[in-house]
Amino acid sequence: MKIRLTNPITGRGRTYRARLTTGHPESHYGIPVMLLDDDEILDATNVVLQGAIIIEPPKRKNQIEMYGIWVDNINAMIG
């Protein structure tokens, strides 16, 4: 999966390769977290502030399922 984030200060965008996992210490109760290239977590705040855009959606079945859960969780957090 690939995701594009835009720095809100400089306006510069960057594309990252991302993956979802429940095997990270920040994952609680089976809620997946999104890890970027450098294993940095993409949280709800950064999704909103950096205008996250999915460039290439996940392809593997487990990643698609986790993506749905992740999106639902983000939406619940931001209202």
pLDDT digits (tens, 9 = 90+) for 20-74: 999 999 998 889 999 999 889 998 899 999 999 999 999 999 999 999 999 999 9
Global confidence as pTM: 0.86
Q: Cα(14)–Cα(6) distance, rounded to whole angstroms?
A: 6
At residue 18, what are phi and psi to the nearest 5 degrees? Answer: -135, 155
Identify the H or E element spanning 14: strand 13-17
CB-based contact 51:5 (threshold 8 Å): yes
CB-based contact 35:41 (threshold 8 Å): yes
Range of the domain at 29: 2-78
Q: Please state the domain count of the chain.
A: 1
> What is the mean predicted confidence (pLDDT) over 7-20?
96
pLDDT at 19 over 90: yes
Q: Cα(49)–Cα(28) distance, rounded to whole angstroms?
A: 23
